[in-house]
Structure 1
Amino acid sequence: REEEHRLLQNGDSLNGAADWTLLFWTTLAVVVPVIITLWCSVQRSKRKIHMKDFFRKSKHGWHCTDLFNKPTYCCVCQQHILQGAFCDCCGVCADETCLRRADRSLVCKEIMAPSQTDGTLEHHWVRGNVPLCSVCAVCKEQCGNQPKLCDFRCVWCQTTVHDDCKPSLSDGERCELGEFRSLIIPPHYLHLVNKLRRRHPDEYSKLASACGSGWTPVLVLANTRSGNNMGEALLGEFRTILNPVQVFDLSELPPSKALQLCTLLPPGSVRVLVCGGDGTVGWVLDAIDTMKLKGQDQFIPRVMILPLGTGNDLSNSLGWGSGYAGEIPVEQVLRNLLEAEVVKMDRWKVQVASKGLYFRKPKVLSMNNYFSVGPDALMALNFHTHREKTPSFFSSRIINKAVYFMYGTKDCLVQECKDLDKRIELELDGERVALPSLEGIIVCNIGYWGGGCRLWEGMGDEPYPPTRLDDGLLEVVGVFGSFHCAQIQVKMANPVRLGQAHTVRLVLKTSRMPMQVDGEPWAQGPCTITITHKTEAFMLYHSAEQTDDDDESSISEPPSSTSLMFHPYPFFCSL
């Protein structure tokens, strides 16, 4: 028995030791990655502070990285590197010790430079780190497949060539700007514009003839704070393909200033790619309206959307999808831009006159998508309030939609907007509309609402008047509450169709109610809201996607206008 007792004790001690060993290694497996992550974060912060002035003064677009996502070699010492910095304009890579030398000795993409004597652009070669699966332009074999710094890539036309094949290039040093030549602003064009004594639209058209027929340069405006926070990565990818002067970060430069580059390009030729949510698109369209007020109508660009926001209803209505998450490369985005059709879209003025404040100017807003009062505006207001407090938490489209769902579920129980029909009056084109027992009213300009729901269509089992983006009409519907909104979104119920109108007027008689215009919410006291037609915007429509407006949308030509003087782009003011 003593022997058995001793064996049991030894077994228990062995089991205890095994448990402690397992606990130790489990803790180590959890703690070590956390410590490494925190250490990398601290080092990254220190590096950013240390290199901030250097990056600001550099002509390269340097970005630091803790780990390159493919085998990478320093362009100075030619050694394999795991971390360091890269330029998102020209693709030069360097480790930290060689960074300053790379900045001095390796030239970045020049946004403005003279052409060769024959009027063409010279190749700008960068050695090594060519894109994966690159093919040599001479021998058609794969490039960059050796474990060293090898082969060349032109930063303008993206042509890749082996070290040994480079002397055999058929076009020598002549660069044709590659597949997207019709979208790129060549550096020699800006050089010639800067030398013009008489800056007139006719002069720009003459200079554009050297850029080839069908030249429609694109400006990329990205909001780095939208949706999944993909804006910063997209900015780098577009700078790699286009002229960096065409790519703007809206967190650093407002669209009103970025769009002044349109006034240095041939009238009616410019296209703008907005990378962001519906709010960012509205911001850009407001800046375009400001151009009209300055007499720059002839330079008005056509607008395409790359949806990075949460709802993206305007993008859906124009055929660009409900959200972009990198599923197609930016090259395909630019190809879609080349194939897009021009359509007109109504824009509306929302005037909010508060009751009793007769000497204060009414609040005036622009509307592209929809105006609403009721449960969906309450959800947007709650979401907006919490995002302002903790913006870092709302960095994912999935998280954003989950928060919306949480607030919608809460409102189903609380019903803060009930008896709306007793607190509000509705007029459509001057005629009073009798309201049933509603909790919300939604005034729509586009076919989609609430993150991809065809609100006016509903279940599709009832006849309803057709809608268009440019028909000058608004669709007005009512909802019975948050649960009714959810039923409409999954096609289990129809909205209360109150009618279509050219002018909508709502009078809030008592209490405060949540309201929103294109996702921008606020709480409003007694007031009168008047929605009238403001102007039309020229948008780019992707016909490959089927939307509410697919069959009816009208394709329009650019508006004709007289030649006007304009304000030069700030970059050239400094020269």
Structure 2
Amino acid sequence: MADDFLKNFKIPDYILSPEFKVEKSDESVLVVPECPVLVFVNSKSGGQLGGDLLQTYRTLLNEKQVFDLGENAPDKVLSTIYANLESLKKRGDEFAMKTMEKLRLIVAGGDGTAGWLLGVICDLELSHPPAIATVPLGTGNNLPFAFGWGKKNPGTDQRSVEAFLDQVMKAKEMKIDNWHILMRMRAPKQGSCDPIAPLELPHSLHAFHRVSDTDELNMEGCHTFRGGFWNYFSMGMDAQVSYAFHSERKMNPEKFKNQLVNQKTYAKLGCTQGWFFASLIHPSS
């Protein structure tokens, strides 16, 4: 019974990569899955949960349709797969055409990971953009919660994953607002106002960049920055706390083992960097 259920989600190798070929004798027996999925897991999210979840999905599905975001950039993965689907479609492959129409993505991670995948889908401008189901594997999980996927980190065992797959198959597609933001600041008379780039930005911030001098949005005497977001946008103290949390987790991943500990760490960083605490720790002049 479990094997029959999982057939609803499995994708054959030749759809995932042009390196694989399907024999003519096999084409007639291929049955289009009810809900073909590509799974992207942030293995660093949720403490040890990300790695465990990755392993479970790879055990249950075709391991080639399950990707670790720490090793595979989603834009490259999706570009390759959709280019292959378009090529097969032009050759009259009905299985590929129907798979493209039904394809859904499962993204396991926090709000930043979900925003990253949403940005990739938006940038690729696909002819059939897939719906995205978000597994709440982060600290806040506001985006999954807003769309009914829950807020608590999920189970990683076979039964839990199969239950989530069943939810994905039965889920109703919903729209999400895509917000664009434009920021301008006066150019200094001396020096530069360009930010000092950190060694590695969170992927959810990669969509923000300074426009070129030839861009129509550029205004003389100002530096203009543009970007997009899907869930929420932070500036000032709130953004500082979020980035401090990201940096701390990057340097000391062993300290972020579960959702409750992560939330406590986030709250602690908020207190030590908040305006209400600054006067207590700032040295007197």
- Work out whether 1:399 is the aligned partner of 2:261: yes
Match of 2:90 in 1: none
- CA distance in 2: counterparts of 1:335 and 1:389, whole angstroms: 36
- CA distance in 1: counterparts of 2:150 and 2:37, whole angstroms: 20
Structure in which a larger fraction of residues adopt strand: 1
The number of aligned residues is 227
Give 1:333 shift.
1.1
Give 1:374 shift.
4.6
Match of 2:102 in 1: 269
- CA distance in 2: counterparts of 1:390 and 1:245, whole angstroms: 30
Larger Rg: 1
Would you say the 8 A contact 2:46–2:153 is kept in 1?
Answer: no
- CA distance in 2: counterparts of 1:321 and 1:190, whole angstroms: 30
Structure in which a larger fraction of residues adopt helix: 2
Where do residues 38-437 of structure 1 align in structure 2 (5 Å cutoff)? 177-187=3-13, 194-195=20-21, 210-212=29-31, 215-259=34-78, 260-263=80-83, 264=85, 265-266=96-97, 267-292=100-125, 297-326=126-155, 329-356=160-187, 362-410=224-272, 411=274, 413-414=276-277
Q: Map Cα deviations across residues 125-168 of structure 1 (whole Å, 9 max, x no partner).
A: xxxxxxxxxxxxxxxxxxxxxxxxxxxxxxxx86xxxxxxxxxx
Change (3 A) 1:372 1:211: same
Change (3 A) 1:384 1:241: closer
Would you say the 8 A contact 1:262–1:299 is kept in 2?
Answer: no
- After superposition, the CA RMSD in angstroms is 3.0
Change (3 A) 1:403 1:213: closer
Q: Map Cα deviations across residues 13-69 of structure 1 (whole Å, 9 max, x no partner).
A: xxxxxxxxxxxxxxxxxxxxxxxxxxxxxxxxxxxxxxxxxxxxxxxxxxxxxxxxx
- CA distance in 1: counterparts of 2:11 and 2:260, whole angstroms: 37
Match of 1:36 in 2: none
Change (3 A) 1:351 1:397: same
User: Residue 44 of structure 2 aligns to a residue in which SS?
Assistant: coil
Where do residues 545-556 of structure 1 align in structure 2 (5 Å cutoff)? none
Would you say the 8 A contact 2:42–2:68 is kept in 1?
Answer: yes
Match of 1:513 in 2: none
- CA distance in 1: counterparts of 2:275 and 2:222, whole angstroms: 36
Counterpart AA for 1:276 = G
- Larger relative contact order (Cα-Cα within 8 Å, sequence gap ≥ 6): 2
Would you say the 8 A contact 1:262–1:301 is kept in 2?
Answer: no
Match of 1:442 in 2: none
- CA distance in 2: counterparts of 1:310 and 1:193, whole angstroms: 38
What TM-score does the superposition give when structure 1 sets the normalisation length?
0.36
Where do residues 467-486 of structure 1 align in structure 2 (5 Å cutoff)? none
Any stretches of 5+ residues in structure 1 without a counterpart? 1-156, 159-176, 197-206, 417-575
- CA distance in 2: counterparts of 1:189 and 1:384, whole angstroms: 36
Change (3 A) 1:364 1:392: farther
Match of 1:46 in 2: none
What TM-score does the superposition give when structure 2 sets the normalisation length?
0.69
Give 1:340 shift.
0.6
